[in-house]
Amino acid sequence: MARILGIETSCDETSASVLNGTGDDVTLESLVILSQDVHKVFGGVVPEIASRAHLTSIVPVVKKALSDAGADLDDVDAIAVTAAPGLIGALLVGVCYAKSLAFTRGIPVIGVHHMEGHLFATALEHPDAAPPFTGLLVSGGHTLLLDVEEWGRYRLLGATRDDAAGEAFDKVAKLLGLGYPGGPAIDRMAAAGNDRAILFPKTRLTHADRNQPHLPGRRDFSFSGLKTSVLRYVTTRRESLGLAAEAPLPTAEISDICASFQRVVVETLVERLFDAARYAGAQSVGIAGGVSANSRLRADARSRGESREIPVFVPSLALSTDNAAMIAAAGLRGLRAGQRSDWALSADASLKL
């Protein structure tokens, strides 16, 4: 048994969590997530503001996670921290704080890759979500399809060639005037819309041969064409309604656009995921990252899984978006496998998984 403190500061959430367990059998003792609302007025995350906000909140957030767990630092055996990828200044706050805490206590520090952390979110709540499985990681910065052969061994089956799925949600929300973060806003508006009101195009990438899914080949994504066609549609509608360039469209139209856009994104993700699972011969699939909070993605993936008789694992909403529990879970697994970072551990804004 080991108790591990997880710290996550890669973007605009300051989060800390305490886990206790062996790696397979884990108890989540506490999770604190402080979202930085300050970015809303800017319509997106401002990196320098994010770093400064992490600086002021990291100490109270870690203290709260420890006290919620009924523990203090003397009870902690190791510290896991997101070391890559993300906003460099934001990452550095977490990494420097984690290293100093660990150094003064004489306990190990373990640097965790943020996207590997997301993979562990599913396993935290579903003991059956263990490798091998096909994983879809969809966040604001990444869209990755992975063959998770075992923890720590990942084969890339596909990735986005341009915008990440979450980025597409955020950009479309921005052009509709829905604010940041865009994903939850589009999800909400789409609930009242007709998902076939506008037939936005689905990007087909030829090198993943859809007729021969048993053949090796990557299953990539592309969302920038879809985003451009939403932009064209919105511009044309504004012109025909005689509206100014940034003026909001009528609410019913926004709902239809959100539902139609969301349908294309979700269908693309679900098709590629199950196609990849079939290619990899996977017995189950896991979806994680901020976009896995999307209500339609969760529903569509589950019903596709039922019809294919493949279990689909998705984290609860709190563990879908950025949180330190997933970082602690990945760190605990690393600790058990004998991994340690040395005191030269630093942050890396763009390290690949």
Residues at the contact surface with ligand KG4, assessed by CB under 6 A:
11, 139-141, 166, 169-170, 181-184, 187, 289-291, 293-294, 321-322
Q: Of Zn ion, ligand KG4, none, which one sits near residue 275, judging by CB under 5 to 8 A according to partner kind?
A: none
Closest approach, Cβ 202 to ligand KG4, in A, equals 18
Q: How far is the CB of 172 from Zn ion (least distance, A)?
A: 19
Are residues 288 and 121 in contact, defined by beta-carbon separation less than 8 angstroms?
A: yes
Q: Which residues bind Zn ion (CB under 5 A)?
A: 139, 322
Longest CA–CA separation in the chain, Å: 67
- DSSP code for 74: G
Q: Across the strands, what pairs with 285?
A: 134, 312
Instruction: Give which of 114, 143, 115, 119 is closest to 133, Cα–Cα.
Output: 119
Name which of 29 and 322 has its Cβ closer to ligand KG4: 322
Rounded to the nearest 10 degrees, the angle between the axes of helix 251-280 and helix 165-175 is 170
The token pair at 84 is 């890559």
Provide the minimum distance between the beta carbon of 56 and ligand KG4 in the complex, in angstroms, as a whole number: 21
According to DSSP, the β-strands at 312-313 and 143-150 are unpaired
Least distance from ligand KG4 to the Cβ atom of residue 301, Å:
13
Q: Which does 183 bind (CB under 5 to 8 A by kind): ligand KG4, Zn ion, none?
A: ligand KG4
Q: Indicate the residue among 284 and 320 with the shorter CB distance to ligand KG4.
A: 320
DSSP of 284-327: -EEEESGGGG-HHHHHHHHHHHHHHT--EE---HHHHSS-HHHH
- Least distance in angstroms from the C-beta of 9 to ligand KG4: 12
Q: Which does 182 bind (CB under 5 to 8 A by kind): ligand KG4, Zn ion, none?
A: ligand KG4
Q: Which is nearer to Zn ion, 51 or 203 (CB)?
A: 51
As measured in angstroms, the least distance from the Cβ of 239 to ligand KG4 is 28
To ligand KG4, the closest distance from the beta carbon of 220 in angstroms equals: 19
Chosen from ligand KG4, Zn ion, none, partner binding at 169 (C-beta under 5 to 8 Å by type) = ligand KG4
Quick check: 175 and 234 in contact, CB under 8 A? Answer: yes
Q: Which is nearer to ligand KG4, 19 or 50 (CB)?
A: 50
Nearest residue to the partner Zn ion, using Cβ: 139
Q: What is the number of residues in the chain? A: 353
CA pair distance 119, 135, nearest whole angstrom: 7
Closer residue to ligand KG4 (CB): 89 or 140: 140
Amino acid at 21: G
Beta carbons of 44 and 36 less than 8 angstroms apart: no
Q: Which is nearer to ligand KG4, 20 or 260 (CB)?
A: 260
SS3 127: coil
> Considering beta carbons, is residue 2 or 84 the nearer one to ligand KG4?
84
